[in-house]
Amino acid sequence: MKQWSVRLAVLVAILAAGASMRAEDKPAAAVHRNVKAEEFERLTKEPDTVVLDVRTPKEYADGHLKDAVLIDWNRKDFVDEVKKLDKRKTYLVYCAVGGRSAKACSKLDGLDFPKVVNLEGGIGAWKRAGKPIEK
């Protein structure tokens, strides 16, 4: 019985040591950045970037950024689809006004995508800045 209590005490000590790890000792999760249309456009010309449109197929058909890949934020399998993406690339994410893309970027952050950029104001801001749209 005594051996069991010693083992239990050792196990409790090990667990307590792990639980007391300070937040600054834990690895930081990647956090996306938010940029305006000018910077977003500049980034689209960088190597290993993917422009990711998280709007609906109808919104995409009404006009999208050049070479944008569509993965609708509202799809039930959104997470499964983004998990298939290459984490070595930079993802430039946009939606209509910035809400869905911000959520999508946070989801990508949580999935450990290290290079994620959100277009502030979405495609609406892009259009107001006079940037090109394709249909």
Q: What is the pLDDT of residues 88-133, one digit of tens each?
A: 999 999 999 999 999 999 999 999 999 999 999 999 999 999 999 9
Q: Catalytic residue at 95?
A: yes
What residue ranges do the domains of the chain occupy? 28-128
pTM: 0.79
Among 51, 34, 38, which residue's Cα sits nearest to residue 134? 51
Q: Which of 95, 102, 104, 108 is catalytic?
A: 95
pLDDT single digits (tens) 59-88: 999 999 999 999 999 999 999 999 999 999
124 burial (CB, 10 Å; 0-12 / 13-18 / 19+) is middle
Q: What is the pLDDT of residues 1-60, one digit of tens each?
A: 555 554 545 444 555 555 444 444 445 566 899 999 999 999 999 999 999 999 999 999
Q: What is the pLDDT of residue 104?
A: 98
What is the CATH class of 28-128?
alpha beta
